[in-house]
Chain A
Amino acid sequence: MSNDNLLILNGINGASGEYDLPPQRPQDVARVARGLPLDLAEKQDIQIRRAVDQQSIASFGSLQSAEHFGLVEGKDPKDLSQAGWGVIFPSGLEARQLAALKEALQPLLAHRQAQAAAAVAHYYKECSGELGYQTGKSKNDFLKLHGRGPGVADPEKLPYYLLIAGDPEQIPYSFQYQLDVQYAVGRVFFESYEDYYRYAVSVVEAEKQGYKLKKKAAFFGAANPDDGATQLSAQHLIAPLAEHIRTEKPEWQVQVNQAEKAYKKDLDQLLRSKDAPAFLFTASHGMAFPSGDPRQIPHQGALLCQDWPGPKAHKGRIPENFYFTGEDLASDANLLGTLAFFFACYGAGTPRLDDFNRIAFKDKNEIAPRAFLSQLPTRMLAHPNGGALAVVGHVERAWGYSFVWEGVGEDLTTFESTLTRLMDGHPIGSALEHFNSRYAELASDLTTELDETDEETQNVVKIAGMWTANHDARNYMVIGDPAVRMMASKQASPPQERASIAETLGRAPQVSSIVVTPAPGAVQAASGPAVGTMAAVDYGLGDTLASLRGGLQQLGSKLGDFLSQALDDATSLEVSTYVSDNIAAVKYEKGQFTGARLRALTRVNIDGDTIVCVPEEDGEVDIELWNVHLQMLQQAQASRSELLKTAVSAVTGLTGLLKP
């Protein structure tokens, strides 16, 4: 089979340096498709969505001309007072947790309420408690709580724009995927209430101050040597998409950072610049790690840059300086008003179980200890100087089939239309309806194809392509408020520079009760010292946590020092053998036994030089003692190697666990 028939994914395993999932044969993917468990409700959703889309095509001539997509007829998705806005909280939150979360989000909630409830009060809705998301419930169960079944969004019952406030363990990705078919959905989850607050303030500041950023769009695409996936995305996604914007939106300044201009330092420069783009689009591999790897939570989904010399030139562990993660975001950056789109595996997040293996091989392959959001987008949103408005990214693996179609070649219509819609002022959730429509179409086509054929007659390549494109479209999601929109200036008004939100944060009376208070579901504690400020939620474990954290840091630090010195000392290994007639009387001083006979000594240097003193007895080599000495030498070598290896794992694990 030639490589052309393999499906290539955008993910690199950081631990092994190999592709996260090896290129797949279409037969295998088709097997996944045949096992695709679409339940009745999902089919119904997709059919309704398809019917609406087809009606739009009949009415407007093309899907691209249709304005409403998932929203009920006659409502303008650009106007929140017509479309409505709501927020969904996990129903299982304690009252104090919910109160703290709402307090942290208060600036945004009040802002959206003013917009959405301007004409009709209930077009603004907070779904919490019994009306929130209940663990284990489906999208349709949730809609039922609000008096709705499947179908287009009607703000009379439930707003079109819906912000999920919770982590994917509390409110699963599957719920978001399905809700997103008809509604415009986004998600926020941060490790601390402070970060929620920063994000809320950033959005409100950007919108209230009417930020008019320079119309600058940056396209950042790695094209790593010998790597089919990024060569493909560079040539068929980044370059033509940038060209499309240049042509269709000439008022926009388009910057392309590709291949040799797509190193990690280039992305750092783009994001830290005072002139950071109003819109950033990236295409690259996303980093993946084995479940439980210390780097998984902080680095999974990080963007692998041009620094990676490709699979042939680099073998083994991918070092941190090849990829850009949340930790690399400069402290002096200011992303207020920026929107971003990451095309990369795990760019938005990671589920706990692997869809591909689960469906293909009925194997509950756990790819992470828990579902989580990637850190780069969440840190962008909660940046202390000013957070980005939203990041669109991919949950799980991203597939090349979303922009290159079998028998057609490059097909960017969905991407182009989404960007055009965004630049025309649609909120991000509405702009992404093209992806939702594509998902509905592909799922519907796939269901039909599978219903009307059997294994004997199926075209496995065709089905594989449909399945991958279907999942690819489904798994795009908005991290952030789905109602945010491009903050670029109109031609008439001069662009504005970003101001820092730090001053606003400092003015806010609520801050003192929000700072360093971790959010519900947070696995890692807030980065600051956890003292005295747990006003909103007092778990009573603050001191214990701080003490434990301190102890673990000390352990990691001492082990690290040990390792560092051991590695310095590892340039030689010395084994000595002594004999004494009265062993109990022998002292050990200054690194040697005194009062005993040194019978054999071996020092092995790292450069291969070896010093050997051989034991003799009456002028003859004491063979028996020499053999024992050699055995001890082998034992020392094996033991040192094993100990250092284990110590490295321990230090890495502790460091990963303690990283803020």
Chain B
Amino acid sequence: MNFIPPFTESPSGLFQTWQFQPAPAAPGVSYAIDAGGAEAEAGAQAYPVWRLELPADPISAEAVLSERQEVLGASRLALEDVPARIDELVLHARATGGVGLSFAPQTAETLPEPEADALELLHTLELPAVGLSFAAGSDERRGLEQAFDQFKADMDDLLRLVTHFAWVETQQEGRLIGRTVVGWSGDLDTLWQSGLTPEERELHRNSLRQALASRNILLHAIVVTVRSAAKLAVLLTTPGGAVLAIPVAWKFIKEVLADIEKYKLITQIPV
């Protein structure tokens, strides 16, 4: 029996190792009993799975885990740094005339990509107030709408990740060595392949630790997003500025985290 059906691709790179798959409808296999009353939704909802494939060689396997751990640490640090970067961005925008009509596009070119993109989106948010050429359907508005849609999709995934039970699986060279069901309130049920060495068990334990940490980092990203949006809102005269700035802040954070990958800190990013 193929216990885990094929994954559906997550729409967001932010959730790279976390994948979402539909709960199987096979009789006798109920994944949702442990999900705190979510049984009725079992057929409709996809549940989050963290599946880690490690090489057979123990040293190489540990190296992969170690690199992932570094990324988690770097992601956490990058998140902590976001408020300061947003402050700098606000100061920069103010010094260069804000995000309204006087905003000069060439200014954005000198900024790192997350900052430049955020300014562009904020600029677009301000555009509808100043002329008809920025009506719905224009390129400017499309970028904004994409950011909004992506934010909503990511939030759906995040909600599932936090409020649903999750599966964490560790495989070594295609062999499943450990599987843990993380109850939505924190209970852990772990299944081990018999005959594992302590080192092999440690691989799954580390994988589980990273999965839990990455889930928490993603949730923490929401906290940082809300705070960042409040800061960015000072640049907006558009009504509802703080709310509208949330997708902008979220995109900024995603790009900051994606930068970690660009700088080749590791080969794969779990968050």
| B85 shortest CB reach to chain A, Å | 14
B74 within 8 A of partner (CB) = no
For the complex, what is the distance from the CA of A635 to the CA of B3, rounded to whole Å?
26
Interchain Cβ contacts under 8 Å between A and B, 12 examples: A523-B233, A525-B243, A558-B159, A562-B163, A565-B36, A566-B186, A569-B185, A578-B190, A580-B192, A586-B191, A588-B29, A588-B181
**CB distance A657 to B230 under 8 Å?**
yes
The answer to whether residues A548 and B136 also contact, given A573-B187, A583-B192 and a CB cut-off of 8 A, is: no
A369 to chain B: closest CB distance in Å? 5
A-contact 0/1 string along B87-123, CB 8 Å cutoff: 1000000000000000000000000000000000000
User: Lowest 9 A-B CB distances belong to which pairs?
Assistant: A640-B186, A518-B239, A653-B226, A525-B240, A540-B128, A569-B185, A370-B234, A591-B34, A545-B240
Measured between beta carbons, the chain A residues less than 8 angstroms from B234 are 169, 369-370, 523
Query: With A650-B222, A650-B226 known to touch, is A580 a contact of B28 (CB < 8 Å)?
Result: no
Known contacts A521-B237, A650-B222, A292 near B215 by CB under 8 Å: no
**Chain A residue nearest to B232 in the complex (CB):** A369
Question: Does chain A have a CB within 8 A of B130?
Answer: yes
User: Judging by beta carbons under 8 Å apart, are B216 and A552 in contact?
Assistant: no
CB 8 Å contact bits of B1-43 with A (1 = contact, 0 = none): 1010000000000000000000000001111011011000000
- In the assembly, what is the distance between CA of A587 and CA of B144, in Å? 45
**Residues of the A chain whose Cβ atoms lie less than 8 Å from the Cβ of B63:** none
Shortest distance between the CB of B26 and any CB in chain A (Å): 9
Residues of B within 8 A of A547 (CB): 148
Known: A588-B31, A635-B205, A650-B226. A539 touches B185 (CB 8 A): no
Nearest Cβ on chain A to B263's Cβ, whole angstroms: 26
- Does B254 have its Cβ within 8 Å of any Cβ on chain A? no
Cβ contact within 8 Å between A658 and B186: no
Q: Does B51 contact A (CB under 8 A)?
A: no
Contacts of A558 in B (CB 8 A): 159, 163
Q: Number of A interface residues at 8 Å Cβ cutoff, please give it.
A: 84
Q: Are the CB atoms of B188 and A576 closer together than 8 Å?
A: yes
Report whether A570 and B239 are in contact in the complex, using a CB–CB cutoff of 8 Å.
no
Contact among A577, A583, A590 with B176 in the assembled complex (CB-CB below 8 Å): A583
A562 to B185, CA, bound (A): 9
Provided the pairs A539-B239, A555-B155, A569-B185 are in contact, do residues A94 and B129 lie with their beta carbons within 8 angstroms?
yes
Interface membership of chain A positions 596-640, coded 1 if the CB is closer than 8 angstroms to chain B and 0 otherwise: 100000000000000000000000000011001001110111011
A492: chain B residues within 8 A (beta carbon): none
Closest to A602 in B: B188
The interface residues of chain B lying within 8 Å CB-to-CB of A653 are 222-223, 226-227
Determine how close the nearest CB of chain B comes to the CB of A189; give it in whole angstroms: 13
| Interface hit among A173-181, A391-399, A641-649 | A641-649
Which chain A residue shows the least CB distance to B144?
Answer: A544
A581 interface residue (CB < 8 Å to B): yes
**Is B57 in contact with chain A by the CB < 8 A criterion?**
no
Q: Would B191 and A292 count as touching, CB distance under 8 A? A: no
Distance, CA A637 to CA B145, complexed state (A): 40
Chain B residues, CB < 8 A from A649: 220, 223
- State whether A646 touches B220 (Cβ < 8 A): yes
Task: For B192, give its contact among A517, A540, A578 (CB under 8 Å).
Answer: A578
The interface residues of chain B lying within 8 Å CB-to-CB of A562 are 162-163, 184
Q: Quick one: which of A169-217 are within 8 Å of B by CB? A: 169
By a beta-carbon cutoff of 8 Å, the part of chain B in contact with chain A is 1, 3, 28-31, 33-34, 36-37, 83, 87, 125, 128-130, 134-136, 144-145, 148, 152, 155, 159, 162-163, 176-181, 183-195, 198, 201, 205, 208-209, 212, 215-216, 219-220, 222-223, 226-227, 229-231, 233-234, 236-244, 246-247
Among B36, B145, B243, the most chain A Cβ lie within 10 Å of the Cβ of B243
| Residue among A539, A593, A637 with most chain B CB within 10 A | A539
- In the assembled complex, how far is the CB of residue B227 from the closest CB belonging to chain A, in whole angstroms? 5
What's the minimum C-beta distance from A358 to chain B, rounded to whole angstroms?
15
| Contact B187–A584 (Cβ < 8 Å) | no
With A548-B247, A570-B185, A653-B222 given, is the CB distance from A292 to B28 under 8 Å? no
Determine whether A530 belongs to the interface, using a CB cutoff of 8 Å to chain B: yes
Q: A540-B135, A549-B240, A593-B191 given. 15 additional CB < 8 A pairs? A: A97-B129, A97-B237, A366-B87, A369-B234, A539-B129, A540-B136, A552-B246, A581-B194, A583-B192, A591-B34, A596-B191, A628-B198, A632-B190, A640-B186, A653-B222
- With beta carbons under 8 angstroms apart, the residue of B34, B125, B185, B193 that contacts A566 is B185
Q: Is the CB of B31 within 8 A of A549?
A: no
**A545-B189 in contact given A551-B152, A588-B31, A653-B227 (Cβ < 8 Å):** no
Q: How far is A541 from B246 in the complex, measured between Cα atoms in Å? A: 14
Residue numbers in B under 8 Å from A588 (CB-CB):
29, 31, 181, 189
In the complex, the answer to whether A548 meets B246 with C-beta atoms within 8 Å is: yes
Which residues does chain B contribute within 8 Å of A544, judged by CB atoms?
A: 144-145, 148, 244
CB–CB B230/A292 < 8 A: yes
Q: Which residues of chain B come closer than 8 Å to A63, judged between CB atoms?
A: none
A545 and B179 contacting across the interface, CB-CB below 8 Å: no
The reply on A522 being an interface residue by CB < 8 A is yes
- Look across to chain B and name the residue whose beta carbon is closest to the beta carbon of A352: B234
Closest beta carbon of chain B to A313's beta carbon, Å: 31
Q: Are B30 and A589 in contact (CB under 8 A)?
A: yes
Distance to closest chain B CB from A616 (angstroms): 15
Bound-complex Cα distance A592 to B242 (A): 44
Contact B216 A639 (CB under 8 A): yes
